[in-house]
């Protein structure tokens, strides 16, 4: 009946198999290093370790002491690139694969760069970093590093207390594809666990709970007219809104991540199986992995039943 499909459970590289060269490697500080954090350097232990070593080596040189050992040649990747001619110094956005070659004109002091400010204003809203590790829980996918709310909205932490929010793969498989997904208006403030995101499918409507408290800073306008786009790419192009979350640390305590989130999804799939058994009778499965458009294949389950059970609204 299309409710279950067979899938292979394994981590997937969200970059489509393309290796991302670390900025330290591109600068020539280290010979070989592939980025595993999608250029979110602040979250990378390797980056922090090299920066500490570079600072220590610089301090020793300023004191007239030659750094020793294998790590004695480590310098800041910025200092390494500053040794190039000005027109040969690649902009950091080029190194991260976001733009064609552009020379850095501010000695890698990005905070003083008008282009960096303009680019970030545009890029951070509409271009989202694809997750590196995406895990499969009985056919339902969730990336590593994404927080999950019990009402099936995900949260991805960005910079400066800003988070990106969307509907998880489970909700989209069970209730979608939607005709419209509408976020609150720009500047709207809401609190965690309030019904904030409007969902519409034909004559049906429901609301998803806000996973955090905050003020709306950006919305994904494409989902207002083509909500089904979220099904194709729930965790990147299917984002619904961005929020400035002042109480993020407190809100995160009520969310799940990693093993806890994967275990929750496993339980939700089992609960869905029970609902199907109760409403539609026993179903033959071909592997026990969740398919797509559950409501469309089994309308007898009922929109109200599914939204109450899984959106918690």
Distance in angstroms (rounded) separating the CA atoms of residues 186 and 36? 33
Q: Identify the residue whose tokens are 């991540």.
A: 257
pLDDT at residue 306 in the model: 97
Tally the C-alpha atoms within 13 A of residue 240's C-alpha that lie toward its C-beta. 30
DSSP SS3 for 306: helix
Tokens of 79: 């200092």
pLDDT digit of tens for each residue in the chain (313 aa)? 455 443 333 222 334 456 889 999 999 999 999 998 778 787 788 999 999 999 999 998 888 888 878 888 899 999 999 999 999 999 998 898 878 888 998 899 887 888 887 776 666 666 666 776 889 999 999 998 899 999 999 999 987 788 999 999 999 999 999 999 999 998 999 999 999 999 999 999 999 999 999 999 889 989 998 999 999 999 998 999 999 998 999 999 999 999 999 999 999 999 999 999 998 877 654 445 788 899 999 999 999 999 999 999 8
Tokens of 240: 């619904």
pLDDT at residue 68 in the model: 78
β-sheet bridge partners, residue 204: 201
62-98 residue pLDDT tens: 888 888 788 888 999 999 999 999 999 999 988 988 7
pLDDT at residue 5 in the model: 41
pLDDT at residue 69 in the model: 81
Find the DSSP H helices in the chain.
Answer: 23-26, 45-62, 77-82, 92-95, 114-126, 169-175, 222-225, 229-232, 248-252, 259-280, 294-297, 303-306
Sign of CA dihedral 248, 250, 253, 255: negative
Task: Say how many Å lie between the first and final Cα of the chain, rounded.
Answer: 28
């Amino acid at each position: 009946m299309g409710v279950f499909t067979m899938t292979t459970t394994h981590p997937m590289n969200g970059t489509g198999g393309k290796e991302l060269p670390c900025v330290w490697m591109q600068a020539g500080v280290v010979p070989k290093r592939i980025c595993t954090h999608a250029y979110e350097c602040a979250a990378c232990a390797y980056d922090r370790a090299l920066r500490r070593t570079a600072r220590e080596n610089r301090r020793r040189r300023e004191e007239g002491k030659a750094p020793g050992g294998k790590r004695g040649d480590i310098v800041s990747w910025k200092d390494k690139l500053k040794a190039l001619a000005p027109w040969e110094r690649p902009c950091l956005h080029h190194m991260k694969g976001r733009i064609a070659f552009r020379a850095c004109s501010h000695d890698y002091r990005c905070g003083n760069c008008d282009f960096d400010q303009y680019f970030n204003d545009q890029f951070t809203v509409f271009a989202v970093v694809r997750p590196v590790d995406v895990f499969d829980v009985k056919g339902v996918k969730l990336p590593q590093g994404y927080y999950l709310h019990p009402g099936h909205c995900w949260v991805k932490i960005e910079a400066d207390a800003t988070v990106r929010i969307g509907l998880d793969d489970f909700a989209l498989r069970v209730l979608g594809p939607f005709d419209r997904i509408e976020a609150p208006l720009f500047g709207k403030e809401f609190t965690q666990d309030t019904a904030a995101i409007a969902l519409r499918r034909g004559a049906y409507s429901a609301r998803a709970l806000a996973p955090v408290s905050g003020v709306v800073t950006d919305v994904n306008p494409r989902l207002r007219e083509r909500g089904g786009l979220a099904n194709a790419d729930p965790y990147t192009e299917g984002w619904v809104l961005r929020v400035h979350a002042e109480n993020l640390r407190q809100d995160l305590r009520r969310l799940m991540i990693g093993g806890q989130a994967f275990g929750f999804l496993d339980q939700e799939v089992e609960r869905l199986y029970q609902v199907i058994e109760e409403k539609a009778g026993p179903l033959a499965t071909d592997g026990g992995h969740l398919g797509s458009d559950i409501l469309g294949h089994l309308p007898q389950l009922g929109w109200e039943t599914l939204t109450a059970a899984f959106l918690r609204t």
